């Protein structure tokens, strides 16, 4: 069964450094998402991406964050200058249009745990 993959599974970085989190969505999917979960808190939406542009973003997704689909298969989240409070589990998700139910089920990857020291 196709699945969303994410690399790395765990990333440790120093405050102020740039990090790039990578995701490979399911191949025929058209909508892509990033979410994050700070330890002990809710899973929070960051950004959605469709047709090579951001379709929606949350207040968390400020100028320090960017997303890109560089080569038609990868979907990346870049944090330009990491802060301690960026430490979290980051989940990538992708979805397609189910023409029968017209429900866009989101398929999630296993997550990347980002630790900022």
Partner 1 sequence: GNSVTQMEGPVTLSEEAFLTINCTYTATGYPSLFWYVQYPGEGLQLLLKATKADDKGSNKGFEATYRKETTSFHLEKGSVQVSDSAVYFCALRIGGSQGNLIFGKGTKLSVKP
Nearer to partner 1, 3 or 68 (CB): 3
Can you tell me which of 55, 73, 115, 117 binds partner 1, judged by CB under 8 A? 55
Cα distances (angstroms) measured from residue 12 to each of 18, 32, 55, 112, 113: 11, 24, 29, 10, 8
Nearer to partner 1, 61 or 87 (CB): 61
Cα angle vertex 19, ends 15, 23, to 5°?
A: 145
Helices (DSSP H) in the chain: which residue ranges? none
Can you tell me which of 43, 73, 78, 115 binds partner 1, judged by CB under 8 A? 43
And the tokens for 31? 């909508």
| Residue for token pair 């990868």 | 74
Can you tell me which of 11, 13, 31, 113 binds partner 1, judged by CB under 8 A? 31
- Sites of contact with partner 1 (CB under 8 A): 3-4, 6, 31, 33, 35, 40-45, 48, 50, 55-56, 58, 91, 93, 95, 97, 101-111
């Amino acid at each position: 069964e196709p699945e969303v993959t994410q690399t790395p599974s765990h990333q440790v970085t120093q405050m102020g450094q740039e990090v790039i989190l990578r995701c490979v969505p399911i191949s025929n999917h058209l909508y892509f998402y990033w979410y994050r979960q700070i330890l002990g808190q809710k899973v929070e939406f960051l950004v959605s991406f469709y047709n090579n542009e951001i379709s929606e973003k949350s207040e968390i997704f400020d100028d320090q964050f960017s997303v890109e689909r560089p080569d038609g298969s990868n979907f990346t989240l870049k944090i330009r200058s990491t802060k301690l409070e960026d430490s979290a589990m980051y989940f990538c998700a992708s979805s397609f249009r189910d023409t029968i139910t017209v429900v866009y089920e989101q398929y999630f990857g296993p997550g990347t745990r980002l630790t900022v020291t």
